[in-house]
Structure 1
């Protein structure tokens, strides 16, 4: 893997500052100092702190989406696809806990920002890819009947709830220890009987 770009270095520095000091308390100067970038470079790549926040959010959710897309390329059944949704979510959060905390607490801020449209577009694209991967199995009757807008919440909801508690330090069980359980719970919740 090559050297991270200046933009990536700035985003990682911002994440470290947000994790250490909080989003509101972090200044652009703190990000500059942590990244070693010049103010000109920060403004060239992002323009302001709100754009850094949005870019960091979009890159984080994009990481999960890329992990999921790679998995869909080899998933060969309805069960594998559903379990993949949960496995990728848990794996990404386990590997990126600070980023996951940031995402959980920053969605509303990004949605309300000038880059909220980019987030909505990214979400539409992501959910469209999930729908496309699941379509053949849905058409074959592999899933129980339920409103479409409930489906992903039913699949990922239990894992997402536990993950929030894990990220907040309120669980004794690790994500890795309950990964298989949540994958099976998701499949059991949506498979046709």
Structure 2
């Protein structure tokens, strides 16, 4: 793998600043200082802080989506697909806790920004690929009948709730220790 790009350097610096200082308290100057980028480079790649926030958010959710897509290429079966959705989420969060925390707290801000439509389109495509992977199993009757818009919430909702608390330091149990439990709970909730 090659060296990260200047744009990647800026995003990583922004994430570090946001994690340490908070999104609102972080300034463009802080991000510039942390990344070592010139102010011209920063504005060339992003234009302003809100676009940095949106780009960081989109890159984070894109990383999770890429992890899932790579996993879907390797798994087969209704149960394996459901467990991948949960296990992949846990794995991504464990590998990227600051990014996960950032995403949990900034969705509304990004949705309301000028890049909100880009986020909605990325989510539509991501959910479409998940639906495409699950469709044969749904059609074969491997999953319980339930409204489609409830399905993902039933699968991922419990682990997302626990993760939110874990990221905030409100749990005694490690997220890693609950991975298999949440995978099984998700499968038990949707299997026919």
Using structure 2 for the length normalisation, give the TM-score: 0.99
Task: Please list the CA deviations of residues 41-78 of structure 1 after superposition, one character each: whole Å capped at 9, or x if unmatched.
Answer: 00000010000000000000000000000000011100
SS of 1:184's equivalent in the other structure is helix
**Could you list the runs of 4 or more consecutive aligned residues of structure 1 that deviate by over 4 angstroms after TM superposition?**
none
- Alignment-derived partner of residue 35 in structure 2: 35
Q: How does 1:101-112 map to 2 (within 5 A)?
A: 101-112=101-112
User: Structure 2 CA distance, aligned partners of 1:121 and 1:54?
Assistant: 13
Distance of 1:113 and 1:180 partners within structure 2: 37
Q: Give the 3-state SS of the residue equivalent to 1:160 in structure 2.
A: helix
Match of 1:144, SS state, is: coil
1:79-90 maps to which residues of 2 (within 5 A)?
79-90=79-90
Which sections of structure 1, spanning at least 5 residues, go unmatched? Answer: none
Gaps of 5+ in 2: none
- Calculate the aligned-residue CA RMSD, in Å: 0.4
User: How many residues are paired up?
Assistant: 192
Alpha-carbon distance between aligned partners in 1 of 2:92 and 2:144, rounded to the nearest angstrom = 27
Give 1:111 deviation, angstroms. Answer: 0.2
Q: Deviations over 1:86-138 (max 9, x none)?
A: 00100000110000000000000000000000000000000000000001000
Alignment of 1:85-124 (within 5 A): 85-124=85-124
Q: Which residue of 2 aligns with 1:130?
A: 130
- TM-score, normalised with respect to structure 1: 0.99
